[in-house]
Chains A and B, each alone.
Chain A
Amino acid sequence: MSVGDLTISNGQRFGLNEPAVVADVVDGETIIMNLERGDYYSLNQSGGELWALLVAGLPRADILQAVARRHDPAPSGQEIDGFIGKLLTHSLIVPVDRANGSTVMSEPATAGAWSIPELSVYSDMKELLAMDPPLPPMGSPRN
């Protein structure tokens, strides 16, 4: 399937866009922050379920199989690809060649009844950070 300019093959894996992006699960809901942009995001339950599989580095085919095992009827590949496309658009994940296994969530997002995976965007800080870019760490070369 093609998302924008990116074609997602069955073997394609994804990973967290580190170090710009961090994520955690609070009360079963996945929260994600892009530290460079100042945007933060939350996922609904199905989105969180997909997110955990994606950042674990599973290839697309394994993700489709995993959600098909958990849900009846199984969500379509198109629905899942559309969600992956949104995550890519917001630079929350990046294509990777192999699973790096570095992304450990503090608690798993629970797998409840399937619903359309959703990404909510909170841009409250974006304007602020655009005005005042994050202070670089000590030892950074001069801007």
Chain B
Amino acid sequence: MRRRFEEAATLAPAAPARQTGILAGRDFSVTLAGSALAAAVGPSLAHLAGKALSGAPDSGAGVALWDCAAAGIAPPDVPGGADWIAAGEGWRVTSHGQGRYLCEERPASLLWLDRREAQLVGCFTDARNLGCADRARPLQRVMSELCRSLGIQEIHAALIGKQGRGVLLVGAGGRGKTTASLDALHGGLQFLGDDSVAIGEDGANRLCGYSLYASARVRPQQLSRWPGFHGQWQFPAPPEEKALLLPHTFAPQNLACGVQIAALAIPVVARRGVRIERTSGLAAFHALVDESRDNRRFGMTAAEFRCLSRLTRTIPCFHLEVGDDPAEVAAAIGGLIDREAA
């Protein structure tokens, strides 16, 4: 797979787009071969660009993807004899090499993860045809295992930051995570994710949240809530419903890679003003465990359980009623971060 990528990087009409940054304290590179691919999935990963820790471009974990159509390089066949198989509609994940390698096959992509080296190499059949969901979260299910290789865990949550601290928004789908996080972005706060982020401990044993994708997807009827995003939406082709927002393309200064978690909030959309009330860590724990179903597809480890319980045991938890006024929501979230970070 790596050889095919190198070949594709040579044959693609444009030079590969490469960015090196830091994810969860480790050097992390993203290399995209093919200009259509760079345009399609680059913005959702672009926030990872930054100054590398070691300065050695190939020393860290990373993602290398190519566009089969642009390079004329087809993906290799997936070998038989898998160690382990999980499958669903339109996807299959297999494990090879006694669990070292994980392969995700989908009609639009083939992704291979080396779990030991935290290196993901993959290809997309034709980047020009990628839908909004693939553009928003191109690394699909193997992202959760890539996170594990980096010592962090992917969770189903949104994350908002301000001056290095952040609030993690947890709860069921449709309860307001995306709405609240886009309200916050619209109001000038930092956006780290609306649906899929990671948590872990930094070198000082502090609980931190990490951005995985700088993207958000929203149903079309909601778009008028954020007039400042007018003209920034990418609209889907049916049957996809949700429009895509890529903040890196218009507000890169409002993106961050990681923050120390100062508060947890369980949002609920309410037809009235914004209200924040303290709630139990247990409620947040249930929300976190229940709503990380897809990320838990590959099971949960004892360390991940303890990280979740430590998070909900030690970080203050709140109910957040998301009212009609996005500015009011942003101010409330910013105020919450300020209070809990103090």
Contacts and interface: CB of A to CB of B under 8 A. Distances in A.
Interface of A: 19, 22, 24-27, 29, 31, 33, 35, 38, 40, 42, 106-107, 122, 124-125, 128-129, 131-143
A141 B98 contact: yes
B257 to A, nearest CB: 26
A107 B282 CA distance: 14
A38 B95 CA distance: 20
Given A26-B309, A35-B305, A135-B95, A125 B293 contact: yes
Contact of B100 (A124, A138, A143): A138
Going nearest first, the 7 A-B pairs with the smallest beta carbon separation are A134-B299, A132-B86, A24-B309, A135-B298, A138-B99, A22-B302, A26-B281
A35 B306 CA distance: 12
Interface string B102-121: 10000000000001100000
Given A135-B84, A142-B83, A33 B300 contact: yes
Interface of B: 81, 83-84, 86-88, 95, 98-100, 102, 115-116, 145, 280-282, 285-286, 289-290, 293, 296-302, 305-306, 309-310, 312-313
A128 B293 contact: yes
30 contacts: A19-B302, A22-B305, A24-B305, A24-B310, A24-B313, A26-B285, A26-B313, A29-B282, A31-B285, A35-B299, A38-B300, A106-B309, A107-B313, A124-B290, A125-B289, A125-B296, A128-B293, A128-B296, A132-B87, A132-B297, A133-B84, A134-B300, A135-B299, A138-B98, A138-B100, A138-B115, A139-B100, A140-B83, A142-B81, A143-B84
A19 B139 CA distance: 31
A40 B289 contact: yes
A138 B289 CA distance: 24
Contacts of A38: 296, 299-300
Contact of A129 (B88, B116, B296): B296
Contacts of B83: 136, 140, 142-143
Contact of A122 (B115, B280, B286): B286
Contacts of B296: 38, 125, 128-129
Contacts of A29: 282
B95 A136 contact: yes
A33 B312 CA distance: 15
A138 B116 CA distance: 8
B314 to A, nearest CB: 9
Nearest to B83: A142
A140 B293 CA distance: 24
Contacts of A128: 293, 296-297
A95 B98 CA distance: 33
Which residue of A38, A134, A139 has the most chain B CB atoms within 10 A of its CB atom? A134
A33 B300 CA distance: 9
A31 B309 contact: yes
Nearest to B300: A35
Contacts of A106: 309-310, 313
Contacts of A140: 83, 98-99
Nearest to A135: B298
Nearest to A33: B305
A40 B102 CA distance: 27
A116 to B, nearest CB: 19
Contacts of B281: 26-27
A122 B285 CA distance: 12
A69 to B, nearest CB: 28
Which residue of B99, B145, B281 has the most chain A CB atoms within 10 A of its CB atom? B99
Contact of B282 (A27, A129, A136): A27
B302 to A, nearest CB: 5
Contacts of B310: 24, 106
Contacts of B98: 138-142
B313 A122 contact: no
A142 B97 CA distance: 9
A126 B96 CA distance: 25
A40 B293 CA distance: 13
